[in-house]
């Protein structure tokens, strides 16, 4: 397979797993709390079963969909060496850094830029922004690792 596609699949799968695990953990906790509360309500009256049964059905469907998503992520993820996994992890860290920078509201960006200009430090906003401009070169280096 093409190294470009393998690289994109590795990056996408790693990033998807980073987003998937916290989302599923949060959903599991919320579902457990909802099931416990609705089951407790069924002890108060038999009419609450009309809420409990459809709710458990929806939770089962959501669980099945999340399992399919997990299988899809694992299917798309190419086999990687330890060096490739570490390089992908570093690249995804940089991508998330850029996404955080880009997702920041403009007023806060302005404040951070002014602050980093007025009080320059090693870990300033601008240094992070400039460091993340190298994503293209990092992507090319990562792509080299996936070449046969």
| Chain segment 93-119, per-residue pLDDT in tens | 887 777 676 676 655 655 665 565 556
Mean pLDDT score of the chain: 80
Instruction: Enter the tokens of residue 79.
Output: 């086999």
Note the pLDDT of residue 102: 67
Note the pLDDT of residue 38: 93
Q: What is the mean pLDDT of residues 24-52?
A: 93
Q: Find out whether 75 and 106 touch, Cβ atoms under 8 Å.
A: no
State the pTM of this model: 0.69
């Amino acid at each position: 397979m093409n190294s470009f596609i393998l690289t994109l699949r590795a990056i996408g799968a790693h990033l998807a797993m980073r987003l998937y695990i916290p989302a599923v953990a949060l959903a599991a906790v919320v579902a457990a709390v909802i099931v416990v509360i609705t089951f407790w309500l069924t002890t108060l009256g038999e009419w609450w079963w009309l809420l409990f049964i459809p709710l458990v059905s929806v939770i089962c469907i959501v669980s099945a969909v999340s399992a399919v998503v997990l299988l899809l992520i694992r299917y798309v993820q190419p086999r990687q060496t330890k060096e490739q996994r570490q390089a992908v992890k570093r690249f995804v860290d940089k991508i998330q850094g850029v996404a955080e920078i880009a997702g920041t509201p403009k007023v806060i960006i302005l404040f951070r830029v002014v602050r980093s200009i007025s009080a320059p430090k090693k870990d300033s906003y601008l240094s992070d922004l400039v460091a993340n401009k190298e994503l293209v070169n990092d992507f090319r280096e990562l792509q080299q690792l996936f070449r046969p």
